[in-house]
């Protein structure tokens, strides 16, 4: 029974490590030299590799109205990893700043309950001020 428990824990740790590694690789590959230098510096220092790196997520969306805008604003305001957001007046563009740990999949999960259609997505990584 003990060995089964440890096996499950080991498999979970491998899954989490693999998932984090994929996020790191994605950030590194899609970043400028300043962000890559910060990631390398964090790795050498032995701290969380994504420390001090932020992501600016930009969405072109359709299907938003004023009630969905209010609901989305509440979700974004209350999310721990999101520090700032904006929605344009036409309700077709959403931009928010988050930690680099926040992925497109997590963002899509936030938008799904609102039945919004994402027509375009980009992310830009930068070093936090």
Average pLDDT over residues 22-40: 90
- Look at 12-16, 33-37, 49-53 and tell me which has the smallest mean pLDDT: 12-16
Percent of all residues in the chain with a pLDDT value above 70, rounded to a whole number: 83
Looking at residues 25-49, what average pLDDT do you find?
93
What pLDDT does 11 receive? Answer: 47
pTM > 0.95: yes or no: no
3-state secondary structure the chain: CHHHHHHHHHHHHHHHHHHHHHHHHHHHHCCCHHHHHHHHHHHHHCCCCCCCEEEEEEEEEECCCHHHHHHHHHHHHHCCCEEEEEECCCCCEEEEEEECCCCHHHHHHHHHHHCCEEEEEEEEEEECC
Q: What is the mean pLDDT of residues 58-76?
A: 95
Instruction: Identify the CATH number of the domain defined by range 2-127.
Output: 3.30.70.920
In the chain, where the domains are located: 2-127
């Amino acid at each position: 029974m003990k060995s089964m428990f440890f096996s499950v824990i080991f498999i979970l740790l491998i899954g989490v490590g693999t998932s984090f590694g994929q996020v790191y690789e994605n950030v590194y590959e899609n970043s400028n030299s300043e962000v890559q230098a910060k990631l390398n510096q964090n790795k050498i220092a032995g701290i969380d590799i994504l420390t001090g790196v932020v992501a600016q997520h930009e969405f072109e969306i359709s299907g938003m109205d004023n009630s969905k805008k209010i609901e989305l604003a509440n979700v974004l305001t209350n999310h721990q990893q999101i520090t700032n957001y904006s929605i344009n007046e036409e309700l077709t563009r959403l931009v928010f700043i988050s930690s680099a740990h926040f992925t497109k999949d997590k963002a899509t999960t936030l938008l799904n309950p609102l039945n919004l259609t994402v027509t375009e997505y980009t992310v830009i990584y930068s070093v936090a001020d």
